[in-house]
Structure 1
Amino acid sequence: MSGAETRSGTADNHVFDRTTDVPLSDPPAEQSTAGIVHDLGNLIQVASSALCRQTRHSRGSKMNAKVTENPQQHRFELPIADGAIAAAYYRLENGRVVLIHTEVPSEFSGQGIASQLAHGTFELLRKTGRKAIPKCPFMGQFLVKNPQYSDVLAG
């Protein structure tokens, strides 16, 4: 037991120490419904602002990440966060890089990460003088929307 009790039914609604009968706190302030709604609106606005800042910050760090090749796993990788990666899988055929599958963890979907991975992959292929064959539907659509990489296509 805490040694405090609320006297219900009294006019003041103070919390009292049971042993000394001395008030421990002021009575709860009455607040109108409009005041409560206003306070909740402010809370939501503050939380929303914080979330937007966090999203901009985390997206900014992803935009600075660099695509690398992991030849042992036959994939191009883009670090995302907390050890997660986006990956573009490939196989080699006659010296060409056949892009077969692009994967982004579902919790990061819709943030442009696959496009960033594709940009980095094609830049890396261009830099190393290799040609690509896009079998992955995403990579094929990406190339349609980004003709600046046509020189990386095989054939």
Structure 2
Amino acid sequence: MTQQAVTPVVRNVDPRHRYEILVAGERAGLTAYRDRGEQRVFFHTEIDDAYAGQGLASVLVEEALTDVRAAGKRIVPVCPYVAKFLKKHEEFADITDEVTPEIRQWLDAALAR
């Protein structure tokens, strides 16, 4: 019997302010955000160790950013992984805003709840 590859699924869990990537129904990772007006500020991305090295972070972030575009929002890449991804994927440059000290200060306050 051959094992079939499982296609990962990305979903936006808006009440928890994150996108999750699922593999065979199990959460394999997430990218967290907060919304600031029309900006979606991404501040953290992680993939569980059990799923490392499978390219899931790239799939997760690409689908999350595609969803941001579809929602008519803009991207602010505070998360180092999202920032690195955007340098390689210029197709999102038109909806990407620079990370400023004001945004970092706002994010710190938003996460201090």
Answer whether TM exceeds 0.5 for this pair. Answer: yes
- Unmatched tracts of structure 1, length 5 or more: 1-49
Contact 1:66 1:120 in 2 (8 A): no
1:73 aligned to which of 9, 13, 16: 16
- Partner Cα distance (1:83, 1:118) in 2: 18
How much identity, in percent, do the aligned residues show? 28
- Partner Cα distance (2:55, 2:95) in 1: 21
State the shift of 1:91 in Å.
Answer: 1.1
Considering only CA atoms, is the larger Rg found in Structure 1 or Structure 2?
Answer: 1
User: Which ranges of 4 or more aligned residues in structure 1 deviate by more than 4 Å?
Assistant: none
1:146 pairs with 2:111: no
Tell me the TM-score normalized by structure 2. 0.77
- Unmatched tracts of structure 2, length 5 or more: 99-113
Tell me, what secondary structure is at the counterpart of 2:91? helix
CA RMSD of superposed structures (Å) = 1.8
State the partner residue of 2:51: 108
Residues 5-154 of structure 1: pairs in structure 2 closer than 5 A = 54=3, 57-58=4-5, 61-62=6-7, 65-154=8-97
- Please list the CA deviations of residues 92-146 of structure 1 after superposition, one character each: whole Å capped at 9, or x if unmatched: 2233110000011111111100000011011111111110100000000000011
Bigger strand share: 2
